A and B are shown apart, each in its own frame.
Chain A
Amino acid sequence: MRRSTILWFLVAACLGVALFLVKYEVQSREEQLAELHRDILENQEALHVLEAEWSYLNRPDRLESLVRRHLDLVPMDKRRVGQLEQLPMRLPMPVPGPDTDPMVTIEAIALAPRPSIAALSTPPLPVGRPLWLPIRVIKRVTE
């Protein structure tokens, strides 16, 4: 009788403590959740502002003036658009012989005049590219 009373008392005490702990755990987690929500909102708003700024910086007239100032890009004209059927048949792979110096052809490509707005009236000739480039040579050219 007495033993079972103590047992029940202990069970009740344990349950009380457990309930207490769970309650505080839930409370702290809810606070954490609310904080996360606040953070998310803050980030979303920051994102929103950045999106607005991004599209402000991407105004077409601004991009156009930047391109004019810093890049060599020119408006695409119809000579640069073609169809697959217009391509000539593919040339056979050149086999590098011992007497041809790959550097000569590659330097010629690198030094070839680049298209500019002024030169647009005469279409740039297609630049022949060798189909085979040794990696070592590419590195030397880019350096």
Chain B
Amino acid sequence: MNRRAKTVHLEGVAKQALETGRNRLLLAGCLVALAFVAVGARVIELSAFRDHNEPTTSNTTADAALQTGRADIVDRNGLLLATSLRTPSLYADPTEVLDAEEAAATLAQVLTGLAPAEIVANLRAKRRFVWLKRSLTPREQHAVNRLGIPGLYFMDEWKRVYPQGALTAHAVGFTDADDRGIAGIEKSFDDALRGGQEPLRLALDLRVQHIVRDEVARQIEAFEAIGGTGVVLDVRTGETVAMVSLPDFDPNVAGRMEPDARFNRATLGVYEMGSTFKIFNTAMALDAGTTTLRDGYDATDPIRVARFTINDFHAKRRWLSVPEIFMYSSNIGSVKMAMDVGTERQRAFMGKIGFLTLTALELPELGQPMVPSPWRPINTMTIAFGHGLAISPMHLASGVATVVNGGIRRPVTLLAADVPAAGARVLKASTSKDMRRLMRLVVENGTGRKASAEGYLVGGKTGTAEKSGGRGGYKRKALLSSFVAAFPMHAPRYVVLVMVDEPKGQKHSQGYATGGWVAAPAVKRIVERAAPLLGVAPVDPKSPEIRRELMIEMPGIGGKRLASF
């Protein structure tokens, strides 16, 4: 019993130890089980709930795509106008350069356009980073590498390149050394170009652009002019198919251009346009109903107002019908026509057609029209023949597009528009039709005969303005000769404007430097060369449908006659 009790005692102690051990084991087991449950739950969560199921494809970057610094700019057919290329730029860490003078001497031999003194100054600068030359050619990079000068490094940079050179310089613009747009489309779409990868498609057609530039340059040379501009607009959409301003510059070396070359005559320059304004004057009078194609005005005597005398260049000294006033570009008749409409209505009309505000073109270089203030009756008289209200050539082209397209004004644009923007009606459709006939008449029988491109039914209006001089007067010898046309006149598709700045009369033009002699031949050649590219088919001007469309009745002095078709 004693032994047994001892045993029991012993058993008791052992049992207690066993109990403790078991409890601890149980606790540890529970903890481990809990940990496993946690791990299991996490596994289930990850596999079943986080991604719903096993990813079927890897999550690495989908496809390698080239990230250029700026998006490309292309013309309407997708030809490159501006693109970015990776070029190495040379920089130095002056603290690592051992012998600045020797390094400068050898570098100047390899890199053209860098003066040794300048390099030495750069290499002695108390900085850790100086640019030596941006955008090296591969050959230059190789040469610099071969020199093996310590402390010189290359850094890849995106450089803007304009493969077309000067051809689209004013429209596309250019960027500075740090790839920020500072002119043209490059500036106005800077953010979109910098962020995007999709090329920006412009409305320009490179082929037409080339033709226009070629022809304007030819006239500038032939008439010793100081500059010129040419614009081609799509009448139906307001797209700018070509926009040229001469002299121009090479945007690839924009730093070296002259200030005059940067000036965009097509959009930034505002000029008193002269007789081409009679298009709007006549359209305004016809639309207001103050006159019709059968009426006319007495243009026998010059008009004298205050100190001005308004006279005719091609004076006829007789009663002129409205078509004759337009055809012979009579200032006297136009003034009387405008006076009948009145100052207030003229101002409202000029506002409606967009001549008092900036054009909608997407360029930073836009010229604000110079509007007379206050608008007196004398202004009404001078604006009738295109003086006293200065607008940019782009305004003029857009206004003519409005007049010939049935009277609907659409904002001009440099971007390719697949759907034309909504327009606002400015003129009655019948007025537009009358104006088309009148413009055709000018080319058929009037001052614009040299613009007649056979088969394309060109219609237009000449303009020869004297440029305003310093003290509110006009310079007799400094002319602005222009011709604005549309074709084909029975269903206009394109407006062509050519303006030459300060042409001088030449022997081959019998001393004349007027719009009819200077700008009209250029328009003719532009139409002849560009129309097949633009998809305008030549027509037979003698076909009955076209005769009916463009026929005009001329109440002349010798009774009625049919003058044009």
Contact = CB atoms under 8 A, between A and B. Distances in A.
A59 B167 contact: yes
Interface string B62-84: 01111010000000000110010
Interface string A66-85: 00000000011110010100
B532 A76 contact: yes
Contacts of A36: 64
Interface stretch (B158-166, B218-226, B268-276): B158-166
Given A60-B207, A81-B532, A51 B83 contact: yes
Interface string B335-359: 0000000000000000000000000
B528 A40 contact: no
Interface stretch (A12-20, A42-50, A87-95, A107-115): A42-50
A57 to B, nearest CB: 8
Nearest to B68: A48
Given A76-B532, A81-B532, A81-B538, A55 B79 contact: yes
Contacts of A51: 80, 83
B529 interface: yes
Contacts of B83: 48, 51-52, 55
Contact of A33 (B60, B206, B455): B60
A33 B58 CA distance: 11
Contact of B79 (A45, A53, A58, A77): A58
B532 A44 contact: no
A interface bracket (residues with beta carbon within 8 Å of B): 20 to 34
B454 interface: yes
Interface in B197-231: 206-207, 209-210, 214
A44 B65 CA distance: 8
Interface string B135-171: 0000000000000000000000000010111010000
Given A37-B64, A51-B83, A59 B528 contact: no
Interface string B508-532: 0000000000000000000011001
B210 A61 contact: yes
Contacts of A37: 61, 63-64
A76 B455 CA distance: 13
B9 interface: no
A44 B84 CA distance: 13
A132 interface: no
A81 B79 contact: no
B80 A52 contact: yes
A38 B206 CA distance: 35
B537 interface: yes
A51 B210 CA distance: 20
A113 to B, nearest CB: 24
- The interface size bin for chain B is 20 to 34
A7 to B, nearest CB: 23
B163 A77 contact: no
A84 B518 CA distance: 38
Given A30-B60, A55-B79, A56-B163, A49 B532 contact: no
A33 B455 CA distance: 61
B201 to A, nearest CB: 14
Contact of A49 (B85, B206, B528, B529): B85
B456 interface: yes
Nearest to B161: A52
A41 interface: yes
B86 interface: yes
B163 A52 contact: yes
A38 B64 CA distance: 8
Contacts of B63: 37, 40
A44 B60 CA distance: 20
A59 B61 contact: no
B528 A75 contact: yes
Given A48-B83, A60-B206, A78 B66 contact: no
Contacts of B206: 60
Given A59-B164, A59-B165, A81-B532, A44 B66 contact: yes
A48 B63 CA distance: 17
Contacts of B163: 52-53, 55-56, 59
Nearest to B81: A55
B191 to A, nearest CB: 22
30 contacts: A30-B60, A37-B64, A38-B64, A40-B63, A40-B64, A41-B64, A44-B64, A44-B65, A48-B66, A48-B83, A49-B85, A51-B80, A51-B83, A52-B80, A52-B85, A52-B161, A52-B163, A53-B163, A55-B79, A55-B83, A55-B163, A56-B163, A60-B207, A60-B209, A60-B210, A61-B210, A75-B529, A76-B532, A78-B456, A81-B532
Given A36-B64, A78-B455, 8 more contacts: A37-B63, A44-B65, A45-B66, A48-B83, A52-B80, A61-B214, A64-B210, A81-B538
Q: Which 9 A-B pairs have the closest CB atoms?
A: A60-B210, A78-B538, A78-B455, A55-B80, A37-B64, A56-B163, A44-B66, A55-B163, A40-B64
